[in-house]
Amino acid sequence: MLPAKKRWLNELKEFLSLASISTDPAYRKEMIKTAQWLSRHLKNIGLSSELIKGSGHPLVYAEKIIDARAPTLLICSHYDVQPVDPIEQWETHPFRANVRKGRIYARGASDSKGQLFAYIKGAEEAIRSGKLGMNVKFIIEGDEEANGKSLAEFLAKNQKKLSADSIIYAGGAMINKDTPAICYGVRGLLALEIEAWAFKDNLHSGSFGGGFANPAEVLAQLLTSVKWKNRQIAIGHFYDGTTEYSDSDLESPYSEKELLKMTDAIKLVGEKRFSTIERISSRPTFEINSFASGYTGEGFQFIIPNRAVAKVSFRLAPGQTPKRAFGQFKKFINMLNPGTVKISIRKVDEAMPALMAKTSLIAIAAAKSLQRVFGRKVAWYRDGGAVPIIHDFQQITANVIMVGFGLLDDNIHAPNEKLDLKNFFRGVEFARDLLMGS
């Protein structure tokens, strides 16, 4: 291994040793320490940097302005990580990075410290070589895993500071271990809790069964009415604004056979006329995420439960908004409510969908750099999950994409998280190449 690579690896290990768990208040000091470490590191490699306080953990901002008239690339990522439970399933300590078989194992290795660090090292290389071809800005948040709003809030008030000609969200996965990928779409989200309330207490089903509405049954009826039999969503005007097109470029990291094997599912199902990859990455969906009613422990309670609660969520396609979907859902449920129970609906979370142009300047430049580094054509994909900040970035510029170097089996949010070192180094090379603007 080249001396430079050894140094990068040692620095990455140091970064990964900081337990920046944003969701657990016990790690508040570690969060500050991590932000400070990161800011100091960015200064050391030649950027100016500062910590920015907001509603959550500090944001780390850094920039290297070579010329006010030159184009600016903003790179966004996060330094916080998921909790480590179940800790006993880790083969090595989650905060003592361990290299085995060409992979680095640690919490945050793939999501997203390792990926972010590849961009940072790429910037360092470009600066060091004297060939940095554009202004570069980093905005790195500490609330991504905590679903915090501090980055969005800062962005809303500091569009000038974060002004850029192009934005890369540094994160995500490659299509497979040797094929680079660009993500050009994320689904939106509307997460709700819905309750059907029937009685002040559970009723004995022997003494009262047959004469009263059962809230579990009513809620089950309402929620199963949300989709037609053909699996399309039955809510009026729900699809308004979405485009029903097949994108022949859209690539899937998995074959259908692999998806079945991974999940043990009996079969793949979904909307007709759409491929599996479209169904799971670009089409709107409705899922029951949880359903609870009655006594669900050991044994049997002969009751009509007094209430039933479900957590449900919509994934939204570009053209839809969580606000409109929420209004439509409430109207739909109120229309179908049989009037035998009290229904209440509470919004828990929301995110705007986003579609990013594959023909934007940054998309074309990134695809070129990726092809140069990997020696392969780039795969284009859409992420079925939510990255709400993408929509906010699109208010700054249309030149937005996501590029990451993780793999889908990196165990993010799980024990033994890892990152392929070969792809970490390719990531450094990509960032250097891109920033040199060659």
Using rule CB under 8 A, residue 415 touches a second copy: no
Count of positions on this chain that bind a second copy (CB under 8 A) = 75
Interacting residue with a second copy among 46, 384, 415, 437 (CB under 8 A): 384
**353 in Cβ contact with 282 (< 8 Å):** no
Least separation in angstroms between CB 155 and a second copy: 22
Least separation in angstroms between CB 365 and a second copy: 28
Least separation in angstroms between CB 230 and a second copy: 12
Using rule CB under 8 A, residue 246 touches a second copy: no
Tokens encoding 62: 């850094």
Using rule CB under 8 A, residue 325 touches a second copy: no
SS3 call for 258: helix
Using rule CB under 8 A, residue 216 touches a second copy: yes
State the burial class of residue 87 (Cβ atoms within 10 Å of its Cβ: 0-12, 13-18, 19+): exposed
What single string gives the DSSP state of each residue in 298-350?
SS---EE-SEEEEEEEEEE-TT--HHHHHHHHHHHHHHH--SSSEEEEEEEEE
Phi, psi of 155 (to 5 degrees): -60, -45
Would you say how long the chain is, in residues?
438
Residue with Cβ nearer a second copy (158 or 306): 306
Residue with Cβ nearer a second copy (86 or 210): 210
Using rule CB under 8 A, residue 212 touches a second copy: yes
Determine the residue type at 323. Answer: K
Give, as ranges, the residues between 387 and 406 that touch a second copy (CB under 8 A): none
188 to 318, 320, 354, 360, 384: CA distances (angstroms):
8, 8, 7, 21, 8
Single out the segment in contact with a second copy by CB under 8 A; choices: 51-59, 137-145, 157-165, 188-196: 188-196
Residue with Cβ nearer a second copy (47 or 309): 309
Give the x-and-dash track for 268-307 against a second copy (CB under 8 A): xxxx----x--xx--xxx-xxxxxxxxxx---xxxxxx--
**137 in Cβ contact with 164 (< 8 Å):** yes
How many CB atoms sit inside 10 A of residue 71's CB?
A: 16
Least separation in angstroms between CB 354 and a second copy: 14
Give, as ranges, the residues between 31 and 90 that touch a second copy (CB under 8 A): none
* Distance (Å, whole) CA 101 – CA 85: 24
Phi, psi of 311 (to 5 degrees): -105, 125
SS3 call for 110: coil
Residues with Cβ within 8 Å of 307's Cβ and at least 6 positions away in sequence, in order, are: 195, 196, 197, 198, 199, 215, 293
**198 in Cβ contact with 108 (< 8 Å):** no
Tokens encoding 114: 């390792």
* Distance (Å, whole) CA 122 – CA 324: 41
Interacting residue with a second copy among 386, 396, 401, 435 (CB under 8 A): 386
Single out the segment in contact with a second copy by CB under 8 A; choices: 59-67, 98-106, 135-143, 383-391: 383-391
Residue with Cβ nearer a second copy (182 or 216): 216
Least separation in angstroms between CB 424 and a second copy: 23
Least separation in angstroms between CB 186 and a second copy: 9
CA 376 to chain centre: 26
Least separation in angstroms between CB 438 and a second copy: 35
Residue with Cβ nearer a second copy (204 or 323): 204
Determine the residue type at 215. Answer: P
Using rule CB under 8 A, residue 190 touches a second copy: no
Least separation in angstroms between CB 39 and a second copy: 31
Give the x-and-dash track for 337-376 against a second copy (CB under 8 A): --xxxx-----xx---------------------------
* Distance (Å, whole) CA 122 – CA 429: 6
Using rule CB under 8 A, residue 266 touches a second copy: yes
Single out the segment in contact with a second copy by CB under 8 A; choices: 34-42, 98-106, 211-219, 371-379: 211-219
Residue with Cβ nearer a second copy (121 or 382): 382
Least separation in angstroms between CB 97 and a second copy: 25
Question: What is the DSSP-derived secondary structure letter of residue 1?
Answer: -
Nearest to 23 by CA among 107, 109, 104, 93: 107
Residue with Cβ nearer a second copy (248 or 296): 296
Using rule CB under 8 A, residue 3 touches a second copy: no
Using rule CB under 8 A, residue 206 touches a second copy: yes
